[in-house]
Amino acid sequence: MTNGLKADKSKCTGCQLCGLICSVKHVGKFNPSQSRIDAMDVFPEPGEYSLNFCIQCDEHPCVEACPAEAIKLDEGLGIYVVDKDLCTACGSCVEACPHSGIWLDPTGSIAMKCDLCGGTPECVAVCPKGVLKR
Amino acid sequence: MPEGRTEEVIDMADGYQGKILRVDLTNEKITTEPLNRDWAKQFIGGKGLGARYLFEELKPGIDPLSPDNILSVWTGPLVGTMTPLTGRYVIVTKSPLTGTFLDSYAGGFFGSELKYTGIDGLIIKGKAKKPSYLWINDGKTEIRDAKNLWGKDTYRTEELIRKESGEPKARVSCIGPAGEKLGLISSVTSDLTRNAARGGTGAVFGSKNLKAIAVRGTLGVAVKDSESFAEMAKEMIRKDVVENPDHAGMITDGTPILVDLSNDAGLLPTKHWRTGTFDGVKGINSDALKQRVLVRKKACFDCAIACGSYAKVNTGLFKGAATEGPEYETLGMCGSNCGIHNIEAVVKFVEDCDRLGLDSISSGNVVGMAMDLYEKGVLTKKDTGGLDLKFGNEEAYSKMPRMIANREGLGNILAEGAKRAAKKIGKGAEDSVMEVKGMEYPAYDPRGSFGMALAYATSDRGACHLRAWPIAADAYGSGDPFTPEGKAAICVEDQTRTSVKWSFIFCDFYSVNFANMAKYYSAATGIESSEEHLRKVGRRIWNLTRSFNVREGFARKDDSLPKRMEKEPLPEGKPKGKAVSRADFEKMLSEYYSLWGWDQDGKPTKKTLVDAGLGDITKKLPYLK
């Protein structure tokens, strides 16, 4: 098992509260485009929600792809996180990730992925439908 | 195509973006300007702010479908923040259906996305030379060619705009064929199934050659202290939304839970208000929805309730039809009111309304009326194009949205709304029409809750259930539904509260009190607020929209009661034998005007306006001179 977030997508109702709280905790404003979790309604077909975030996979191809060695292991949490001082926002990690779990900030200044809020993910706490789990 | 670029968006950090966008379609001119901060303080946002700009800028007496009309779209200071159930927007204009002030709201995701482009609202004037749509992407706005979109339904329009813009997350608010053909019961549809539906918003878009407003916003919004605001909101989402007993039924069922309640109270409009008790209720109630067509629950942006139901038909004539909903109003108006026994047929009808851009309340009303007139022999197969349009005939019924939207045959008459259609049909049809100021009655029969007659009569946009809802305290509660006593006070209280609620813009389904609204408002903006303060704002806004309508010539004579509510007692159920007498109605109305501080013709007095903080508009009201 990985140490990342887990989701039961069948329970998701697409309210995007996860992205809202994620953005405010990470960038200080309400802006789902700057969140580390991405929920989107896909209707009428297939009539479900896409829910993307870093699952902290064992293979972590993003780490290998990063030319700046900016994605580093946080030993305490056992997950890989982006070091904002080292990231050059080149996008190599985005291309390398097969899970759509990492993307660039809309300003193009940094790669963003879930850091579990340092251990207590805010999205898990706020989700009203119990979709997300640590 | 012209382009306008705003300056760098400045983080105002008080919930407002501090900017509005102006689009002159005639001259293809796009500008931005600072938000009028004085008005924002006096009228908040949404309904109030939109009404203030419209009152100031719209010439009285203009044709709502002419280039002179103003089409504006607004958010509010809490939209896009984590304040529960505020992911909404409002279209404010002069209604082509009623000639009154019009504010029509939709949930979904368009409202927050619009705000994230860096503006609080936009004001559109004039008329484009050819079919066009607006593309707003962060600080950049363009008027784009909509040649390839014209004639397309709302689903396809969203799909094509996302493809063309290369933005799969763009949000689209658009019209279907109904609005293009200037149907007066046409809606504006966003996120496929969310409609700013009432009052003919779609026709206003159509009259301006405007197919859609599409937005993609990545700028976000900040409040005074966003992190502590989020903590407060998180707690409120749990305590005041999820655990609030007022919301229990909305979470488990959504509004369809009201179908049985209304039927038990004997006030569920059935067969065009012939009765209030429906023998087929089990086929269209919440259980039918859950057991027969529900796929999954669906929320709007920032909503922990998720009242929406994504529904799909699995068998029969309408197999494959899918929609979000149908919600209570639609189940009443397009279900029982048309004598429809099967929710599958309603799902199909509503999918068509959404795709074609039709108000489902008004559509159900006019189709029910046509069925009524057909059964009475006023309309014949010659009028219906051969359709056997009797109550409950699902096949004939299912053809109606398309005929109305495309203005085919009888649909061309019904597209004008119930009042105009009845006049055109003649032969006594006018006696059966159910409307106020031209807007079709929604799904609560006032003979089973007398206060609703006053609520519909005095709503600022014609017969509407979302300005006052006295039924909560009587037919749905413990009060006496069959007395005029106390109803005026309830309407005044509700209209004061909803004026504030629709200005922030909260969803109807958040049972939020004044104190909590003040709490969110203060925390977001830093403006000192309280229940007393917001009540004053509510009185100001309701007096403003009333003044708008008075300026357009509306008065007591227009705050009307459909003849049948007075003359035809309900035949069965709890309200058996009940009708709203003329004396009871006039008594409620007189009391209502007194409580508001209006004269007995329904016009706000100068003192009332000055007390409400509207002294500056009195000089624009000729009757006060």
Question: Do B496 and B368 share a structural domain?
Answer: no
Of A17, A40, A125, the CB nearest to B304: A17
CB contact under 8 A, A25 and B234: no
Angstrom distance (rounded) from CA B81 to CA B280: 43
Q: What is the mean pLDDT of residues B4-13?
A: 46
Of A13, A14, A126, the CB nearest to B237: A126
Which of B311, B326, B322 has the alpha carbon at shortest distance from B363?
B326
| Amino acid letter, residue B347 | V
Question: Do B549 and B486 share a structural domain?
Answer: yes
Would residue A79 count as lying in a domain?
yes
Question: Do B67 and B205 share a structural domain?
Answer: yes
Angstrom distance (rounded) from CA B31 to CA B51: 21
CB contact under 8 A, A106 and B222: no
Angstrom distance (rounded) from CA B167 to CA B117: 14
Which residues of A fall within a CB distance of 8 Å from B229?
Answer: 24
Which residues of A fall within a CB distance of 8 Å from B220?
Answer: 23, 27, 29-31, 33-34
For B392, residues 6+ apart whose C-beta sits below 8 A from its C-beta are B280, B338, B339, B340, B341
Paired tokens of A63: 């780490």
Taking residue A105's Cβ as centre, other Cβ atoms within 10 Å add up to: 17
Give the pLDDT confidence of B497-540 residue by residue, as tens digits. 999 999 999 999 999 999 999 999 999 999 999 999 999 999 99
Whether B293 has its CB under 8 Å from any CB of chain A: the answer is: no
Question: Do B470 and B369 share a structural domain?
Answer: no
Instruction: Answer whether residue B616 shows pLDDT above 60.
Output: yes
Paired tokens of A62: 């993003």
Alpha helices in B242-317 (DSSP H): 248-252, 257-264, 286-288
Angstrom distance (rounded) from CA B544 to CA B14: 25
Q: Report the gap between the CA of B220 and the closest CA in chain A (Å).
A: 4
CB contact under 8 A, A106 and B218: yes
> Which residue of chain A is at minimal alpha-carbon distance from B13?
A29
What's the CATH number where A55 sits? 3.30.70.20
DSSP A94: H
Mutate which of B167, B216, B240, B297 to disrupt the A interface (most A C-beta within 10 Å)? Answer: B297
Question: Do B473 and B598 share a structural domain?
Answer: yes
The per-residue pLDDT for A2 is 73
Give the pLDDT confidence of B152-182 residue by residue, as tens digits. 999 999 999 999 999 999 999 999 999 999 9
Most distant CA atoms of chain A, gap in Å: 43
> Which residue of chain A is at minimal alpha-carbon distance from B225?
A28
Question: Do B298 and B210 share a structural domain?
Answer: no
Of A21, A28, A31, the CB nearest to B234: A21
Paired tokens of B119: 């503006």
Whether B536 has its CB under 8 Å from any CB of chain A: the answer is: no
Burial, B291: exposed, middle or buried (Cβ in 10 Å; 0-12, 13-18, 19+)? exposed
Instruction: Answer whether residue B3 shows pLDDT above 60.
Output: no
Of A17, A29, A125, the CB nearest to B221: A29
Would residue A73 count as lying in a domain?
yes
Q: At what angle do helices B514-525 and B531-551 cross, to 10 degrees?
A: 100
For B619, residues 6+ apart whose C-beta sits below 8 A from its C-beta are none
Paired tokens of A45: 């077909």
CB contact under 8 A, B306 and A15: yes
For A100, residues 6+ apart whose C-beta sits below 8 A from its C-beta are A38, A52
Would residue B238 count as lying in a domain?
no
Give the pLDDT confidence of B424-452 residue by residue, as tens digits. 999 999 999 999 999 999 999 999 999 99
Domain count, chain A: 1
B375, B409, B440 - which closes a domain:
B440
As a whole-number percent, the residues of chain B with pLDDT over 90 amount to: 98
Angstrom distance (rounded) from CA B433 to CA B427: 12
B173, B192, B216 - which closes a domain:
B216
What's the CATH number where B180 sits? 3.60.9.10
Please, which pLDDT band fits residue B12 given cuts at 50, 70 and 90? low
What region, left, alpha or beta, does residue B428 occupy, with left being phi > 0 and alpha being psi -120 to 50 degrees? left
> Which residue of chain B is at minimal alpha-carbon distance from A43?
B192
From residue B565, give the alpha-carbon distance in Å to each of B27, B185, B344, B451, B466. 48, 23, 30, 12, 20
> Which residue of chain A is at minimal alpha-carbon distance from B229?
A24
Question: Do B494 and B394 share a structural domain?
Answer: no
Mutate which of B114, B227, B231, B234 to disrupt the A interface (most A C-beta within 10 Å)? Answer: B234
Q: Which single residue is written with the structure tokens 């705009």?
A: B161
- Where in B114-259 does DSSP place strands (E)? 121-125, 132-137, 140-145, 171-174, 188-190, 194-196, 210-216
Q: Report the gap between the CA of A53 and the closest CA in chain B (Å).
A: 17
Instruction: Answer whether residue B7 shows pLDDT above 70.
Output: no
CB contact under 8 A, B220 and A14: no
Q: Report the gap between the CA of B310 and the closest CA in chain A (Å).
A: 8
Segments of chain A scoring below 50 in pLDDT: 1
What's the CATH number where B504 sits? 1.10.599.10
Instruction: Answer whether residue B10 shows pLDDT above 50.
Output: no
Which of B566, B552, B364 has the alpha carbon at shortest distance from B457?
B566
The continuous run of DSSP H or E covering B30 comes out as strand B29-34
Question: Do B462 and B394 share a structural domain?
Answer: no
Whether A128 has its CB under 8 Å from any CB of chain B: the answer is: yes
Q: Residue A89 sits in which domain range?
A: 6-133
The per-residue pLDDT for B352 is 98
Taking residue B616's Cβ as centre, other Cβ atoms within 10 Å add up to: 13
CB contact under 8 A, B300 and A15: yes
Give the pLDDT confidence of B314-337 residue by residue, as tens digits. 999 999 999 998 999 999 999 999
Domain count, chain B: 3
B162 in Cβ contact with B21 (< 8 Å): no
What's the CATH number where B345 sits? 1.10.569.10
Q: Residue B171 sits in which domain range?
A: 3-216
pTM across the whole model: 0.97
Give the pLDDT confidence of B115-150 residue by residue, as tens digits. 999 999 999 999 999 999 999 999 999 999 999 999
As a whole-number percent, the residues of chain B with pLDDT over 70 amount to: 98
Angstrom distance (rounded) from CA B99 to CA B107: 25
Whether A21 has its CB under 8 Å from any CB of chain B: the answer is: yes
CB contact under 8 A, B324 and A43: yes
Please, which pLDDT band fits residue B625 given cuts at 50, 70 and 90? confident
Would residue A1 count as lying in a domain?
no
Angstrom distance (rounded) from CA B408 to CA B185: 15
Taking residue B320's Cβ as centre, other Cβ atoms within 10 Å add up to: 10
Angstrom distance (rounded) from CA B578 to CA B569: 5
Q: Report the gap between the CA of A129 and the closest CA in chain B (Å).
A: 8
Give the pLDDT confidence of B578-596 residue by residue, as tens digits. 999 999 999 999 999 999 9
Question: Do B310 and B167 share a structural domain?
Answer: no
Question: Do B464 and B419 share a structural domain?
Answer: no
Question: Do B473 and B606 share a structural domain?
Answer: yes
CB contact under 8 A, A41 and B300: no
The continuous run of DSSP H or E covering A25 comes out as helix A17-27
For B424, residues 6+ apart whose C-beta sits below 8 A from its C-beta are B413, B416
The per-residue pLDDT for B5 is 32
Would residue A60 count as lying in a domain?
yes
Question: Do B349 and B472 share a structural domain?
Answer: no
Would residue B322 count as lying in a domain?
yes
Paired tokens of B546: 């009333």
Would residue B239 count as lying in a domain?
no
Would residue B374 count as lying in a domain?
yes
Which of B556, B536, B533 has the alpha carbon at shortest distance from B546?
B556
B531 in Cβ contact with B522 (< 8 Å): no
| Amino acid letter, residue A56 | Q
Mutate which of B8, B194, B310 to disrupt the A interface (most A C-beta within 10 Å)? Answer: B310
Give the pLDDT confidence of B242-265 residue by residue, as tens digits. 999 999 999 999 999 999 999 999
Which of B203, B157, B183, B139 has the alpha carbon at shortest distance from B413?
B183
